[in-house]
């Protein structure tokens, strides 16, 4: 006899409890516990494994470690983030804010794959077939090998996969798909978990590269249980300010490549366009001869980016000055201000400090510390930096400037964009050949950097 069991599960982290809680004991989120009903059937024997296999255990030295075959998507920025292309049989999860361009990216990718002779099935659970056709007309993504299905029933999706036999499968979105035998509503923890498990069987068993589009919560994380990100092979976040035209595709998990790469796109009337030179895009509106503006060379994976940092220091009449940062960690800003006050003697206790990374890019590496310090000092003294300078380096608590990685790539990117001088840590000058036509100035302390940049 089947037994009906009721439990409460957190929609944020998947925590299970026999009764309802206003605050989840697992992730401490409020009003996230929902009631789930499951049917427990007693079975005899062992449960069948996720993947039926008769393979025997092998010594690891006897296993063939050949490279996974990859399929070029036709979009170089997407290939970069995926690690060189999409792997057949892989399961990829793409998340992002509403209206950021997830469906547009998937439709353009599907169209590009059809040019390689691949058959693509695009399953939309949020738009009708006519709406998808209108989007495809606008993007120019029309191909006889691109099949579109408007369906949310998991069993019917499996029937369509069996009938069409696609090489590439897109599910937009995973929160709309449901299994009839699971009694909870679509988008619930149980439905998302079970449907993702089914799609994983399809991807691994049939060798179909599958992409799941996922909704995000108000905090920016992918909605549903955290188990969802553990089940897939690759997790991509599509980021960007809705008020700007460019978008960033960032990998936070990738079993087939690096998690440090980013892809940069620009949203236009005809869809997403790849940005081949992002540094030129971010510096296109940089003002010259303005105090507080500095160009920093940052690394995103293996790609160097030149980005403008803007600092504004203004006096305040309140006892507690404000510290606001957009694009970097505000705790890092407080640390740099403390170093400038203690080691450089700058009086910032009566000054509000505002820092902004122009263009909405988020930088999270310590190599931007020196540029932040120079921007703050430039705004405080009202002395502009030279427009042909690029600055990078990590700052220690004693005021020293520490070496950073990939200094050669940063310098070459600055030279390619026409900058004449680079201020960098002294220890980063060793171990590589310096290019001609650009001046490299090594510094050991913050005082040395300010003396050179604000002379």
Secondary structure letter of residue 274 according to DSSP:
E
Distance CA 399, CA 356 (A): 23
Dump the DSSP string for 80-116: HHHTSSBPTT-EEEEEE-TTSSHHHHHHHHHHHHHTT
Distance CA 16, CA 36 (A): 10
Distance CA 146, CA 419 (A): 46
Q: What are phi and psi of 374, to 5 degrees?
A: -65, -40
Distance CA 392, CA 394 (A): 7
Closest CA to 153 of 105, 119, 198: 198
Distance CA 299, CA 392 (A): 10
101 is in an annotated binding site: yes
96 is in an annotated binding site: yes
Q: How far apart are the first and last CA of the chain?
A: 84
102 is in an annotated binding site: yes
Distance CA 214, CA 227 (A): 13
Alpha helix positions (H), 35-185: 76-82, 102-114, 129-139, 154-164
Distance CA 211, CA 225 (A): 18
Pairing label, strands 351-357, 303-315: antiparallel
Distance CA 455, CA 451 (A): 6
103 is in an annotated binding site: yes
Distance CA 322, CA 305 (A): 29
Distance CA 68, CA 60 (A): 17
186 is in an annotated binding site: no
98 is in an annotated binding site: yes
Residue ranges for the binding site?
96-103
Provide the annotated binding site for ATP. Answer: 96-103
């Amino acid at each position: 006899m089947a037994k009906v069991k009721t439990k409460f599960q957190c929609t944020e982290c998947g925590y299970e409890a026999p009764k309802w809680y206003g605050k989840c004991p697992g992730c401490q989120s409020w009003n996230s516990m929902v009631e789930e009903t499951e049917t427990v059937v007693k079975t005899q024997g062992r449960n069948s494994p996720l993947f039926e296999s008769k393979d025997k255990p092998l010594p690891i030295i006897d296993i063939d470690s050949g490279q996974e075959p990859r399929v070029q998507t036709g979009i170089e920025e997407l290939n970069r983030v995926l690690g060189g292309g999409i792997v057949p049989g892989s399961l990829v999860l793409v998340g992002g804010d509403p209206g950021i361009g997830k469906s547009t990216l998937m439709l353009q990718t599907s169209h590009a794959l059809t040019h390689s002779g691949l058959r693509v099935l695009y399953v939309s659970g949020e738009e009708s077939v006519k709406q998808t056709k209108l989007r495809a007309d606008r993007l120019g993504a029309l191909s006889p090998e691109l099949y579109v299905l408007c369906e949310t029933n998991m069993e019917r999706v499996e029937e369509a996969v069996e009938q069409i036999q696609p090489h590439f499968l897109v599910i937009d979105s995973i929160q709309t798909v449901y299994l009839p035998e699971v009694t909870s509503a679509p988008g619930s923890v149980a439905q998302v978990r079970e449907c993702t498990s089914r799609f994983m069987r399809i991807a691994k068993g049939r060798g179909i590269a599958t992409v799941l589009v996922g909704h995000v919560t108000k905090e920016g994380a992918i909605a549903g249980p955290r188990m969802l990100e553990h089940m897939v092979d690759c997790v991509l976040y599509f980021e960007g300010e809705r008020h700007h035209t460019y978008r960033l595709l960032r990998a936070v998990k990738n079993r087939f490549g690096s998690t440090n790469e980013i892809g940069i796109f620009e949203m236009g009337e005809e869809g997403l366009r790849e940005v081949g030179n992002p540094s030129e895009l971010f510096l296109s509106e940089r003002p010259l001869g303005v105090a507080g503006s500095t160009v920093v060379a940052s690394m995103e994976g293996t790609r160097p980016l030149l980005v403008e940092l803007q600092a504004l220091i203004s006096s305040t009449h309140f006892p507690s000055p404000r510290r606001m940062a957009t694009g970097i960690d505000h705790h890092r800003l407080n640390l740099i201000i403390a170093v400038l006050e203690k080691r450089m003697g700058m009086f910032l206790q009566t000054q509000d400090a505002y820092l902004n990374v122009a263009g909405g890019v988020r930088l999270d590496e310590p190599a931007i510390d020196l540029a932040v310090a120079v921007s703050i000092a430039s705004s405080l003294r009202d002395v502009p930096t030279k427009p042909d300078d690029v600055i990078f380096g990590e700052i220690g608590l004693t005021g020293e400037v520490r070496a950073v990685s990939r200094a050669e790539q940063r310098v070459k990117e600055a030279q390619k964009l026409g900058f004449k001088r680079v201020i960098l840590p002294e220890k980063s000058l060793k171990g590589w050949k310096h290019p001609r036509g650009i001046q490299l100035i090594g510094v050991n302390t913050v005082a040395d950097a300010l003396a050179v940049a604000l002379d």
